[in-house]
Amino acid sequence: MNDAVVRMYNVGFGDAFLLRLPTAAGEVKVLFDCGSHAASEKPRPMREIVGQVIDDVREADGTARIDVVVGTHRHQDHVSGFDDERWSEVVVREVWMPWTEDPNDEEATRIRERQSATAARLAAALAGDASGLLELAENQLTNAAAMKTLHAGFAGSPRRRFLPTAGSDDLSDSPLGPFGVHVLGPSRDERVIRDMDPPVGEAYLRMIGLSGDGDVAAGAPFADAWTYTESEFARSETWQHLRLTGPKKTLVHKVAAADRLAVAVALDKAVNGTSLVLAFELAGAVLLFPADAQWGTWDAMLSEPSSRDLLARTTFLKVGHHGSHNATPRDFVELLEHPDATGAGLAAMVSTHAMARWPKIPKAELLQALAGVTERVARSDHGGEPAIPGFEHWGEDFIDLRIPLSTPKEG
């Protein structure tokens, strides 16, 4: 077999990609993430999807084997599926995670702890909130059980790598040794690290009323005697002209929540900023998996001439962050080389699920711009619709893309 195959599972709002790469020694299987957002509708329960992934990697001897599991970052929509006892029977050779997951790295530990602490406080304070903020906050929670699988689970005592390492990454002894593996992010550059820090400290959360520790932040600013419910206030004839109604009142509620929203969004961005970004270079093909990388990481990649050149040659793109506006810079799409007469050119896959809550994911303009580069753009949630030509399998549960290659040279 000379072809690489990428399988995108339809997990709803989340990511699960299985990559099969041909080598002289046989097929190498790489699983990128396995998760879905708790609030997302799914075509079938996550447990069933996990069952299929495990079946898909089962070999002739009945044992499920994966060469490399990549946990790109600790968001629920990327890892929730790892909270499943069946993974303990799957033989895994290596688990790759971003350097921010390294338990022995001081800076990584500091970033993780700050992110988790902020998320926990945010989620606790938002309990009962119906505006969608809670879901955003819950996505950030430690996802402890799933992360335990990645850090300590699986059969076969897999080797854990935290990438990129502080020095240069030598992956030649990994199952992906035969390929050119580029670790493009998360950078250890100071500016990128700053983006990973939660935007605000505990003091700020308290100031916006998001710490439930019973001090004045949680209470009312004035004595009860001065305070009127909306219906009490409405009863006064002399105050009728002061009543807020209709759209104006809605706007006031929105403004009142603005700072909370800003914190939730900024934290989301901070965790996405830890995304492990990988590119595989094989005979004529460049497969790019940017996870949910944010501008800081992209900026670092695009400013470095060698990685910029690599990005321009991308032939397969896993579209970042479910096709949202903030994970695929315009610069990058403009950089993509258009298909020439001989090559098949670019193909892209977007794992996404339209949710009323986040109407801008996926972002229409981004999809249009990609469509200007290639006709082969698959959406995981469009699997049930008429197939787009150029994909090996087009189904409601998963979509396969075959990428023709010449067998790479040994070692």
Partner 1 sequence: MADTVDAYVARGHPIDPPLRRPLKIFELDPIVSRGTPGGLTIDIPNEPGLRPGPCGERVQVVDYDGVLRRYYEPVDLNDPAILIQGGLNPVESDPRFHQQMVYAVTMRVLENFDRALGRKITFRGKQLLLLPHAFRGPNAFFDPGVGVCFGYFPADREEPGQNIPGQPIFTCLSHDIIAHEVTHALVHRLRPHFFERTNRDVLAFHEGFSDIVAIFQHFSFPTVLRAAVRASRGDLSEPNELVNLAVQFGHATARGGALRSALDTPDPSRYRRAWEPHQRGSILVAAVFDGFFQTYQRRIQDLLRLATAGTGTLPAGEVSPDLVDRLCTEAAAAAQSVLTMCIRAFEYLPPVDITFGDYLRALVTADYDLQAEQGAVDRSLMIEAFRRRGIYASEVSSLGEDALRWPPVPIDTKRVMPADLVARQVLNEANRIDRHARATEDLNRAAVELQAWAGANAQRLRLVPDMPVKAHGFHATFRVAPGGELRVEVVAQFLQQRAHPELAGVVMRGGSTVVATADGVVRFVIAKPLDDAQRMERQVRHTRALAAADPLAAWGPDSPGVMLDGPVFRLLHGGMQMP
Residues that bind partner 1 (CB under 8 A): 194, 199-200, 203-204, 206-209, 215-217, 220-223, 225-230, 232-233, 238-239, 241-242, 244, 248-249, 251-253, 255-259, 262, 266, 294-295, 298, 325-331, 360, 363-366, 369
Using DSSP, state whether 377 is helix, strand or coil: strand
Length of the chain: 411
| Closer by beta carbon to partner 1, 22 or else 198 | 198
| Closer by beta carbon to partner 1, 244 or else 387 | 244
CB of 251 to partner 1, least distance (A): 5
* E strand or H helix that includes residue 281: strand 277-282
CB of 236 to partner 1, least distance (A): 9
CB of 276 to partner 1, least distance (A): 18
In which residue are the tokens 């009860």 written?
224
- 359-393 b/e (C-beta count within 10 Å ≥ 16 → b): eebbbeebbeebeebbebbbbbbbbeeeeeebbee
Q: Token pair of 250, please?
A: 């809605």
Going from the C-alpha of 222 to that of each of 208, 216, 243, 302, 362, the distances in angstroms are 17, 10, 19, 53, 44
Using DSSP, state whether 246 is helix, strand or coil: helix
Going from the C-alpha of 185 to that of each of 104, 110, 325, 326, 359, the distances in angstroms are 19, 19, 19, 16, 28
Residue 305 CB neighbours (<10 A): 8
Going from the C-alpha of 337 to that of each of 286, 301, 389, 411, the distances in angstroms are 12, 17, 20, 29
| Closer by beta carbon to partner 1, 239 or else 392 | 239
| Closer by beta carbon to partner 1, 60 or else 242 | 242
| Closer by beta carbon to partner 1, 25 or else 226 | 226
| Closer by beta carbon to partner 1, 96 or else 358 | 358
CB of 163 to partner 1, least distance (A): 23
CB of 141 to partner 1, least distance (A): 22
CB of 274 to partner 1, least distance (A): 15
